[in-house]
């Protein structure tokens, strides 16, 4: 069956032809039975391993409720008890919706044309298979699930307003996680594509899927490590291939200087600090989407800090160490390599947060080595920092500390990856559960997802400081953060600043980044790009994708002029913003080129006072974490 332009289900009686029936018929009963026996054996192994891991964990001292869900849902229960009228009303509404669904399904089965009671949200990719619409049974399952999932989330949202807003937000987040987990798409018998494949392949897909699951558990050391991309990439060979050299190394960074792509370069060099919670080559995936290659082609001398993948020996490295041994060491090394006292600097995500704090410290110390600062998806004010704040309360921080203590003072990269994947669970968890484990497919090679799964560890002291002082207490924006015995004040930072944000960023929301327009004391340019935390940043002009928004009535223009002060609300900025198709990189290039001085002969790695230590991408980026 099909839907008309208004979403009406049409087509009369359900088709019962041989093709429809054969799609849900076992191909070879004997082979199917043998495969089901194999599935049973593998499932017993999985169950035994699960019980063993749980018993081991119970005696390890690790917290049994690291996400502090017990207190969250205890508060929800109290709220529901306190407002029984709202609960009764919600239950009656759900019952009425179910009756409506039964009535419309019956009419459809009798050949009538009906509109669905509920449809998936725009962008929901789970129900793309044609049988979710055309097959009446699966359409009924789909609508029943959507009614229930929406009911759960709407009921939670209406709980008594006396609940703490942060607690209520956590409840809403985990309710959605639960609703996503119980979707019919995640089970063999209620997913038409999986059911068809199981019957037609005689269950071979489930055997392959369980093998994939066992391999992922083995690779994760007993923890599920979902493979999101085929292992078709090798760092330095077909990914992270921009030509350059390692010119400096300490315990925290390798500094990479990339080969020039032009005969002349801007006098002021460019130094990039990526996030240390991921590896730097997000900026150099392939030649066609490499920001590093593109920046070199615009005439910049490009340096990038490649952060170490820390082990237990670095567990006590502090946030201040990352400032001194990361940013300060990088600035000193660039000066030695180029002879330039001034450097343009970029900070991406947490690397940008560190850069913000460092600039405030440098302002207090009258240190003027930074010429300009660009921030890719980086927050300084965390009052609207998105769903990651859900994971930061004192109970969860204490549980996290216990986990890191058990691991020798580091947070394993897999745990951080799981947290980020939960923010987009349907795309980054459940879609792979269906593809890898239920359909038994191998993931396709995808450079971005390969990078996403190439995780890094976190030193305990740095990570807890970051979560507590930024996410939980929001100290930097309030002028309360102290580094090196200096209280940090961002209003003292007078260097030109470029703030890039992204419309669909779920990690560093554009509303959060916009708040920085009111924090820095110098000229600021703020833009919003299309897409999210990664694609919103890594969007080369040649791709001709997405768009970006600017408003030259406020702040700093690309040619260095200054408009009116930024309004208090980002919506007021957006009301007069101009949309431009394509990449925002050229806008940034115009802005930075006007701040980078005259052209000079191109510099090659090793030309200055720093010796070449090896070829890019270096050694730190190749260290794997579990």
Domains and CATH numbers, the chain: 2-219 (no CATH), 244-411+442-622 (3.40.50.1820)
Q: Which residue has the higher pLDDT, 74 or 313?
A: 313
pLDDT tops 70 at residue 58: no
Instruction: Tell which residue, 78, 67, 76, has the closest CA to residue 167.
Output: 76
Determine phi and psi for 346, rounding to 5 degrees.
-120, 140
pLDDT number for residue 509? 96
Widest CA span in the chain? 83
Q: Which DSSP category does 515 fall into?
A: G
Written as one string, the DSSP assignment of 18-66 is HHHHHTTS-S-HHHHHHHHHHHHHHHHHHHHHHHHHHHHHHTTT--S-T
Q: Which residue has the higher pLDDT, 48 or 506?
A: 506
Contact status, residue 375 vs residue 344, Cβ threshold 8 Å: no
pLDDT tops 90 at residue 618: yes
pLDDT number for residue 20? 62
pLDDT number for residue 5? 39
Q: Quick count: other Cβ atoms within 10 Å of Cβ 233?
A: 19
Q: Which DSSP category does 606 fall into?
A: T
Orientation of helix 136-157 relative to helix 165-181, angle to 10°: 170
Instruction: Tell which residue, 413, 359, 391, has the closest CA to residue 467.
Output: 391
pLDDT tops 90 at residue 321: yes
Q: State the pTM of this model.
A: 0.88
pLDDT number for residue 282? 97
Token pair of 299, please?
């005439």
Q: Which residues are catalytic?
A: 349
Top-confidence range, 83-97, 292-306, 374-388: 292-306
pLDDT tops 90 at residue 4: no
Question: Rounded distance, CA 158 to CA 156, Å?
Answer: 5
Which tens digits make up the pLDDT trace of 104-138? 889 888 888 889 999 999 889 999 999 999 999 99
Q: Is 85 helix (H, G, I), strand (E, B) or coil?
A: helix
């Amino acid at each position: 069956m099909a839907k008309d332009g208004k979403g009406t289900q049409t087509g009369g009686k359900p088709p019962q032809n041989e093709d429809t029936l054969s799609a849900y018929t076992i191909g070879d009963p004997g082979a199917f039975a043998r495969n089901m026996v194999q599935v049973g054996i593998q499932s017993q192994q999985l169950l035994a391993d699960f019980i063993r891991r749980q018993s081991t964990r119970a005696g390890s001292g690790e917290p049994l409720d690291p996400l502090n869900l017990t207190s969250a849902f205890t508060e929800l229960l109290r709220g529901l008890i306190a407002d029984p009228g709202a609960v009764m009303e919600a239950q009656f509404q759900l019952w009425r919706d179910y009756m409506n669904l039964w009535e419309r399904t019956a009419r459809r089965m009798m050949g009538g044309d009906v509109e669905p009671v509920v449809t998936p949200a725009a962008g929901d990719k789970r129900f793309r298979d044609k049988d979710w619409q055309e097959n009446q049974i699966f359409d009924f399952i789909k609508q029943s699930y959507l009614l229930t999932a929406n009911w759960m989330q709407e009921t939670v949202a209406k709980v008594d307003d006396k609940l703490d807003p942060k607690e209520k937000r956590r409840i809403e987040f985990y309710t959605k996680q639960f609703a996503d987990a119980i979707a019919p798409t995640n089970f063999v018998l209620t997913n038409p594509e999986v059911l068809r494949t199981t019957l037609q392949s005689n269950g071979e897909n489930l055997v392959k899927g369980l093998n994939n699951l066992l391999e992922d558990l083995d690779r994760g050391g007993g923890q599920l490590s979902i493979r999101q991309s085929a292992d078709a990439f090798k760092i330095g060979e077909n990914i992270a291939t921009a030509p350059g050299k390692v010119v400096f190394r300490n315990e925290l960074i390798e500094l990479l200087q990339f080969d020039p792509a032009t005969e002349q370069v801007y006098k002021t060099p460019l130094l990039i600090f990526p996030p240390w919670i991921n590896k730097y080559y997000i900026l150099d995936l392939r030649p066609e989407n490499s920001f590093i290659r593109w920046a070199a082609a615009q005439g910049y001398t490009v340096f990038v800090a490649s952060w170490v993948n820390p082990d237990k020996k670095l567990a006590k490295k502090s946030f201040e160490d990352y400032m001194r041994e990361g940013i300060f060491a990088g600035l000193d090394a660039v000066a030695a390599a180029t002879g330039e006292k001034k450097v343009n600097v970029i900070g991406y995500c947490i690397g940008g947060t560190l850069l913000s704090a460092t600039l405030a410290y440098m302002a207090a110390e009258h240190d003027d080595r930074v010429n300009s600062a660009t921030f890719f998806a980086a927050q300084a004010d965390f009052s609207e920092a998105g769903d990651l704040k859900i994971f930061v309360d004192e109970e969860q921080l204490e549980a996290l500390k216990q986990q890191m203590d058990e691991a020798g003072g580091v947070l394993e990269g897999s745990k951080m990856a799981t947290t980020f994947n939960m923010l987009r669970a349907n795309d980054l968890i459940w879609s792979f559960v269906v593809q890898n484990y239920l359909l038994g497919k191998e993931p396709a090679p995808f450079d971005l997802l390969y990078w996403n799964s190439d995780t890094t560890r976190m030193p305990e002291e740095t990570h807890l400081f970051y979560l507590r002082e930024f996410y939980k207490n929001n100290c930097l924006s309030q002028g309360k953060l102290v580094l090196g015995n200096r209280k940090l004040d961002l209003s003292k930072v007078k260097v030109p600043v470029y703030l890039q944000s992204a419309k669909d960023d779920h990690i560093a929301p554009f509303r959060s980044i916009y708040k920085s327009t009111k924090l820095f004391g110098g000229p600021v340019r703020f833009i919003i790009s299309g897409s999210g935390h990664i694609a919103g940043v890594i969007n080369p002009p040649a791709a001709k994708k997405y768009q970006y928004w600017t408003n030259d009535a406020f702040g700093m223009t690309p040619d260095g002029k200054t408009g009116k002060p930024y309004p208090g609300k980002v919506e007021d900025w957006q009301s007069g913003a101009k949309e431009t198709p394509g990449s925002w990189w050229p806008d940034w290039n115009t802005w930075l080129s006007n701040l980078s001085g005259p052209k000079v002969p191109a510099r090659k790695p090793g030309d200055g006072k720093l010796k070449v230590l090896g070829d890019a991408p270096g050694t730190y980026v190749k260290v794997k974490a579990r």
